[in-house]
A and B are shown apart, each in its own frame.
Chain A
Amino acid sequence: MDLNLTPQELRFRNEARAWFAGNVPKDWVKRRDEEESMLGRFEYLRAWQRKLFDAGWAGISWPKDFGGRGAPVMEQVIFIEEMARAEAPPMANVIALGLIGPTIIAFGTPEQKKRYLSKMLSAEEIWCQGFSEPNAGSDLAALSTTGVLDGDHFVVNGQKCWTSYAWAADWCELVVRTDPAAPKHKGLTALLVDMHSPGVEVRGLKQMSGESEFGEIFFRDVRVPVANVVGKVNEGWGVAMGTLMHERGTFGAALQVNYRRNFNRLVEIAKRIDRSGKPASEDPVIRQKLAQCYAEIEVMRLNQLRAFSRINETGVPGPEGSIQKIFWSELNQRFQQVAMEILGPYGQLAHGSADAFDEGQWAYGYLRSRGNTIEAGTSEIQRNIIGHFVLGLPKSY
Chain B
Amino acid sequence: MQFGLSESQQILKSNARKFFATECPIAEVRRIMETDTAHDKKLWRSMAEQGFLGVVFPEEAGGMGLGFVELAALAEEMGRALVPGAFLSNLFAGAALHAAGATKHLAEIASGEKTATVALLESSANWDPHAVRMPTLAGEKLFVPDAESADLIVVAARDADVPALYLVESHAVKKTLMPAMDLTRRLYKVTFDHPAAELLAKGGAARKALDHALNVVTTALCAEMTGGMQRMLDIAVEYAKTRKQFGKPIGQYQAVQHQCADMLLYTESSRSAAYYAAYTMTEGSAEARTAVSVAKAYASDACRETGNRAVQVQGGMGFTWENDTHLFYRRAKASEIAFGDATYHRERIARFVID
Binding site for B on A (CB under 8 A): 1-6, 9, 74, 77-78, 267, 270-271, 281, 284, 287-288, 290-292, 294-296, 298-299, 302-303, 305-306, 308-310, 312-313, 320, 322-323, 326-327, 380, 382-384, 386-388, 390-396
Contacts and interface: CB of A to CB of B under 8 A. Distances in A.
Contacts of B262: 383
B264 A386 contact: yes
Given A303-B272, A383-B257, A387-B258, A394 B248 contact: yes
A310 B254 contact: no
A298 B346 CA distance: 13
B294 A392 contact: no
Contact of B2 (A288, A309, A323): A309
A391 B254 contact: no
A381 to B, nearest CB: 10
B3 interface: yes
Contacts of B69: 1
B45 interface: no
A281 B355 CA distance: 8
B198 interface: no
Contacts of A271: 354
Given A281-B354, A380-B254, A6 B1 contact: yes
Nearest to A270: B354
Interface string B251-266: 1111001101110110
Majority DSSP secondary structure for residues of A touching B: helix
Contact of B258 (A2, A310, A383): A383
Contact of A294 (B4, B268, B269, B294): B294
Interface residues of B, number: 47
A292 B350 CA distance: 9
Contacts, number: 154
A306 B262 CA distance: 18
Contacts of A2: 1-2, 6
Contact of A320 (B268, B279, B291): B268
Given A1-B69, A2-B1, A392-B237, A386 B347 contact: no
A4 B298 CA distance: 24
B264 A394 contact: no
Secondary structure at the B interface, as helix, strand, loop or mixed, is helix
Nearest to A385: B261
Given A291-B353, A393-B237, A309 B3 contact: yes
A380 to B, nearest CB: 7
B240 interface: yes
A9 B2 CA distance: 11
Interface of B: 1-6, 9, 69, 237, 240-241, 248-249, 251-254, 257-258, 260-262, 264-265, 268-269, 272-273, 275-276, 279, 283, 291, 293-294, 297-298, 342-343, 346-350, 353-355
Contacts of B258: 380, 383-384, 387
28 contacts: A1-B3, A2-B2, A267-B354, A287-B350, A291-B349, A291-B354, A294-B294, A295-B273, A298-B294, A299-B269, A299-B298, A302-B3, A302-B273, A302-B276, A323-B269, A383-B254, A383-B261, A383-B262, A386-B264, A387-B257, A387-B258, A391-B237, A392-B241, A393-B240, A393-B241, A393-B251, A395-B252, A396-B253
A393 B294 contact: no
Contacts of A391: 237, 257, 260-261, 264
A198 B68 CA distance: 63
A306 B273 CA distance: 10
Contacts of A323: 264-265, 268-269
Contact of B353 (A3, A294, A302, A305): A294
Given A287-B354, A383-B257, A393-B252, 13 more contacts: A2-B2, A4-B283, A74-B1, A288-B350, A291-B297, A294-B349, A295-B349, A302-B273, A302-B276, A309-B3, A384-B254, A391-B257, A394-B241
Contacts of B5: 1
Contacts of B342: 292
Contacts of A326: 261, 265
